[in-house]
Structure 1
Amino acid sequence: MRSWLTDEFEISVPVLSAPMAGVAGGRLAGAVSAAGGMGLIGVHPGASADWLAEQIGSAAAPGRPFGIGFIGWALSAAAPGQPDPDELLRVAIDARPAVISISFGEIADHVGPLHDAGIAVLTQAGNVDEALAADAVGVDIIVARGGEGGGHGRNEVATLPLLQEVLDAVDTPVLAAGGIGNRRGLAAVLAAGAHGALVGSAFLACPEAANPAEAKQAVVEARSTDTIYSRIFDLAQSLPWPPQYGGRALRNEVTRAWAGREDELARGGPAVVALADQLKSARQAGDVAFAAVYAGQAVGLVESARSAAEVVAEFAAADELLARLR
């Protein structure tokens, strides 16, 4: 199964695993790359340079191309008491990954230095304007990310209509993301003209993923209708995500109690402080009845805990479906 993506990076399956903060560490990224795709490490806000170096060691171990993903707004300035984002970028650049992803914030200042280091730049776009802006600053890969996608991003346009618009609007190579959970989804976006897919939810239950066992089980049990897009978890924890980038997660006790009350969360107060404490405790205990489990609508396609290699093999079978079109 060949595309621009497979030829450019010498991989055999046109799938990149999404840089999911808290889930996509070096072990998952390395396993995806070893299986023929390309795995991306997800760098969470507050990550240390030592942590990143350790994850890079795991991802690079198979000797296959891998990538590193950053959150754009977290690179803008160092928060008090937090690691220097410039140091994190230096560690990433020194590792010479095949791809560095920077999404959900300013990317223009990073494109030149990454290109000088021989690293391809990827960014996610949730609407055509974002895709055009990315194209204008010279990124190498644009991901058309639809609102079905898990984790953070825009919720304006679904994947398939967005992909068609972006493909018509830019000449930069385009991948698709959001709702792509198996070989059928990959075949669909490849047939539409994408060069591959950025996939998250399909890897959430893999043993190589860094999320808790309770979260993996919740993913296996979830249906495609069990997600909600909101800013509830960010507002409750005072996380500085720009308001246009909410998050899609599994519904739980917190989303049921606070859906439609985002303005109340934004105002703060004793109830919000108590909720933040509850979320912290739930996260530490792996209590998914309250802690956030970010997942997209393709979560309903995750029926069991499979290894990263098995998930990549499932996507590789898209070639059998595409053969029907030849």
Structure 2
Amino acid sequence: MPRTWLTDRFGLDVPLVGAPMAGVGDGRLAAAVSAAGGLGMIGVPGSAPAPWIVEQAAVAAAGGRPYGIGLMAWALEHHPAQLDAVLEARPALVSVSFGNFAPYVEPLRRAGITVAVQAGTTREAREAEQTGADVVVARGGEGGGHGRDEVATLPLLQGVLEEVTVPVLAAGGIATGRGLAAVLAAGAAGAWAGTAFLGCAETMLPEAARARVLATGETGTAYGRVFDVAQRLAWPPEFGGRALRNAFFERWHGREEELAGDEAARAELEAARAAGDFDTAYVYAGQAVGMVTRHRTAADVVADFATADNLLRRLTDDQ
């Protein structure tokens, strides 16, 4: 594999970060991705207590490889103990994004932690660099989970690479070695991928959710705020979520104001999550979900990303 800032900074075999996916990726998935040669990350849910973070960090660290933790800035305002727990754990990388991330960058850097900020626009990337982020993640609207849906990955990556001087990782729609090769060729230091790992046994997803992922094609996702509004989550409105399209989303999309006051719908979603009914409950995934077609291990997925090396070598040889 080509050496990049990402591989050199963390001693990786593959310039790949397993994106932090709250409710999907805990210490087990992070450890598996890191053991396979990438950098695994723990996704911290918005209301996660500090002891949960400490516990999952210990799981991720047990293999002796670098790992990371992903935090949501809007949640830290209400749960400051999350930051304290992360500082105690001292992971190699922390992503803090989605909201006012500025107050958290310097405390993390003072602790010797590399700080990443996810950006959905070039302007946001410039702000992240000015605030002191060590690396910017250019996250396009194709990506699963939460983020902006204003610019697609390829134009965003090009714009960000032109405007910032810190290393840039590409996120959104990258699920194979071909995708990794493409963003490396463009100048990214690596890829930031989540959806590619949704078929893995190491995730926290119930089997019914994984089965739905494997059966969904590339047009089977939808972007919006339906699930956040139904749960009364305090996500800033500019950061909607991309999830598998289902009956609940179709029923309420465009009626979010009405949904915000509908307690029956809120209870329906909560009950569906408990029952594993994914016609109503959500599974966050990006547009690359159509390439996730079978059960694999995290090591299998990382090995697939590593085929980027052969593709890049072929490109060089052809020239």
TM range (shorter): over 0.9
The aligned runs of 1:4-23 (5 Å cut-off) are 4-23=5-24
Q: Match for 1:163: what amino acid?
A: L
Q: Equivalent residue of 2:82, what SS? A: helix
Q: Equivalent residue of 1:152, what SS? A: strand
Deviation at 1:54, TM superposition (A): 1.3
Cα shift readout 1:277-302 (whole Å, capped 9, x = no counterpart)? 01101111111111011000000000
CA RMSD of aligned residues (A): 0.9
Q: Which residue of 1 aligns with 2:296?
A: 306
Tell me whether 1:89 sits opposite 2:68 in the alignment: no
Tell me whether 1:259 sits opposite 2:253 in the alignment: yes
CA distance in 2 between counterparts of 1:201 and 1:166 reads: 22
CA distance in 2 between counterparts of 1:62 and 1:154 reads: 34
Q: Which residue of 1 aligns with 2:147?
A: 153
Q: Equivalent residue of 2:157, what SS? A: helix
Q: Which residue of 2 aligns with 1:109?
A: 103
| Residue of structure 2 aligned with 1:127, choices 93, 118, 121 | 121
| Residue of structure 2 aligned with 1:175, choices 166, 169, 180 | 169
Question: Once the two structures are aligned, what percentage of the paired residues are identical?
Answer: 58
Q: Match for 2:278: what amino acid?
A: V
Cα shift readout 1:19-55 (whole Å, capped 9, x = no counterpart)? 1000010000000000000011011011111211111
The aligned runs of 1:1-326 (5 Å cut-off) are 1=1, 2-76=3-77, 78=78, 85-266=79-260, 268=261, 272-326=262-316
Q: Match for 2:117: what amino acid?
A: T
CA distance in 2 between counterparts of 1:227 and 1:88 reads: 31
CA distance in 1 between counterparts of 2:109 and 2:96 reads: 13
Q: Match for 2:222: what amino acid?
A: I
Q: Match for 1:322: what amino acid?
A: L
CA distance in 2 between counterparts of 1:105 and 1:160 reads: 23
Q: Which residue of 2 aligns with 1:82?
A: none
Q: CA contact under 8 A between 2:259 and 2:265: conserved in structure 1?
A: no
Deviation at 1:249, TM superposition (A): 0.4
Cα shift readout 1:142-174 (whole Å, capped 9, x = no counterpart)? 000000000000000000000000000000100
Q: Match for 1:257: what amino acid?
A: R
Q: Equivalent residue of 1:36, what SS? A: coil
TM-score by length of 2: 0.97
Q: Match for 2:194: what amino acid?
A: G
TM-score by length of 1: 0.95
Q: Equivalent residue of 1:292, what SS? A: coil
Cα shift readout 1:99-125 (whole Å, capped 9, x = no counterpart)? 011010112211211111110000100
